[in-house]
Amino acid sequence: MKLELTRRYAFSASHRLHSAALADAENQRIYGKCNNPFGHGHNYVVEVTVTGAIDPATGMIANLSELDAYVTQEVLEPFDHTYLNKDVAAFRALVPTTENLCIEIFERLKKFPGARLARIRLEETGRNSFTYAGESNGSGT
Ligand code: NI
């Protein structure tokens, strides 16, 4: 039996898509308005999915208040109302695309002690979302 628990969270942050590996003209061509030097914001929605055995004493996979506290500490507080390019160390060198943000969130949450992290789904807008399940998680499940 495999049961998963998915919990939704939200945070708001701004970013600028600009790669140091590309010339300014290439950055503008590839990222368009998202390369605007003043940045722009998104209301991100993040879905955290965990899995594991049901604790026979509680009947639950994970304690939701423990999960909430962990996600708040590792992701929501460090990211909410920030400029990702400067305020989050990982994005000083890495372009804060939603792809890279999704991986960063997974890396921050994978050590959650209360259950096994199965995947992260990150929505940038109502039309785009990305899902990441880690490097070593691709087969057999
Ligand atoms: Ni954007």
- Which tens digits make up the pLDDT trace of 70-100? 999 999 999 999 999 999 999 999 999 999 9
pLDDT at 1 over 70: no
Q: How far is the CA of 17 from the centre of ligand 1 (A)?
A: 7
Q: How far is the CA of 106 from the centre of ligand 1 (A)?
A: 19
Beta strand 82-83 pairing with 40-51: unpaired
Token readout for 52 is 């594991």
Instruction: With a cut of 60, say whether residue 138 has pLDDT above it.
Output: no
Would residue 81 show up in a list of annotated catalytic residues for this protein? yes
Q: What is the pLDDT of residues 11-56, one digit of tens each?
A: 999 999 999 999 999 999 999 999 999 999 999 999 999 999 999 9
pLDDT at residue 141 tops 50: no
Residue 139: pLDDT over 90: no
- Report the amino acid identity of residue 14: S
State yes or no: is 34 an active-site residue.
Answer: yes
Tell me which fold the domain 4-132 belongs to: Tetrahydropterin Synthase; Chain A (3.30.479)
The larger pLDDT score, comparing residue 66 to residue 141, is at 66
Bridge partners (DSSP) of residue 6 are 49
The larger pLDDT score, comparing residue 1 to residue 22, is at 22
Q: How much is the pLDDT for 140?
A: 42
Q: Could you say which of 40, 66, 77, 81 is catalytic?
A: 81
Tokens standing for residue 32: 């368009």
Q: Which residue has the higher pLDDT, 120 or 138?
A: 120
Burial tier of 51 (Cβ tally within 10 Å: 0-12, 13-18, 19+): middle
- Nearest CA-CA partner of 12 in 114, 103, 101: 101
Å from CA of 15 to ligand 1 middle? 6
Residue boundaries of the structural domains of the chain: 4-132
Q: What is the 3-state secondary structure of the chain?
A: CCCEEEEEEEEEEEECCCCCCCCHHHHHHHHHHHHCCCCEEEEEEEEEEEECCCECCCCECCCHHHHHHHHHHHHHHHHCCEEHHHHCHHHHCCCCCHHHHHHHHHHHHCCCCCCEEEEEEEEEECCEEEEECCHHHCCCC
Q: What average pLDDT does range 137-141 have in this prediction?
A: 46
Residue 130 Cα to ligand 1 midpoint, Å, equals 13
